[in-house]
Amino acid sequence: MGDGEMSFPQKVLQIANDIKTMKIRGAGKIARSAAEAMKEAALDYSGEADLVAFKKYMVNVAKLLVSTRPTAVSLPNAVIYVLKSLREATSFNEARNNVVTYADAFIRNSYEAVRRISEIGAKRIKEGSIVLTHCHSTTAVEVIARAYREGRVIKVYNTETRPFLQGRITFAHLRKYGVPVVQIPDSAVRYIMNEVDYVVVGADTVTSNGAVVNKIGTSQVALAAKESRVRVYVAAESYKFSPLTLVGELVKIEFRDPEEVVSREWLSKHPGVQVLNPVFDVTPPEYIDAIITEYGILPPQAAILILIDKLGWTLDSIKYSENILENLERIIE
């Protein structure tokens, strides 16, 4: 089994499946779970204690994880962060230790980023405000919950977020923090917007020009907010920024099973019917007032600064931009 083609540990396969089937949801949680899977793969490696074989094995694990969801950039960014640790290794033991160390660091930094964003974001909300949020974002929830503790938020409207109803997760989390929250159908957003002071949402991907890819319906929420002169804040950790968009790579929008929208029985009664189930949409930067990151607050048009100044991405460093899955081997060169 020295060629790296061995079967993967059961825990790694379980995490990959849970990401693919959306049991693990939310860009931050997906990223942390991917880093955890890389760590588990390294610890459970049972092949030859050979550096080349181990590197090939870890690249295959990376491919498995990256292939599970096509849109959330946090997933490949987490995997690539851990995979880069193999560049420095000169022995098998060093390589395995590096993977574990980098995975732990990514997870730790991710939680710290959420804490920092909640601290920064809460201060941007005035006392006595009503907030609307869409879908489920741990980072957005933490911003809102902290603002509530500081007396800045008095009520939250949150959407159900059909068809997968992630908004109900948000509802439960906000209630756990004691936040007064009212759940509304997605279609009620424009109706309720005249009561709202701020919209706070998360992001699955932020592009280099400041456009935000997030759960389907986010762009409509932002459009309704702009019409009503309501500020829109996006809470996003830096690993949700897409380096591939620096070279014009488009963010691939995921489409899921029509049975998430309508029942199998309904489909069988209407043979040939087409049902579209896009998971994400793109909110243009002109509909966003600010992106809140662990590095501070920036206008969406300054997103490129996070990629270049803070994360160190350059056009020359994006060697794998054409196809991540086909070029993951180059990350460890």
How many of the other CB atoms lie within 10 Å of CB of 235? 28
Q: Of 18, 44, 135, 289, which residue is the catalytic one?
A: 135
Contacts of 60 (CB under 8 A, 6+ apart): 4, 5, 8
SS3 297: strand
How many of the other CB atoms lie within 10 Å of CB of 285? 18
Strands 198-201 and 129-133: parallel
Strands 231-235 and 290-293: parallel
Would residue 135 show up in a list of annotated catalytic residues for this protein? Answer: yes
Q: Of 44, 50, 197, 204, which residue is the catalytic one?
A: 204
Q: What is the spatial distance between Cα 104 and Cα 35, in angstroms, rounded to a whole number?
A: 8
Token output for 44: 């459970």
Strands 280-283 and 212-215: antiparallel
Q: Which residues are catalytic?
A: 135, 204
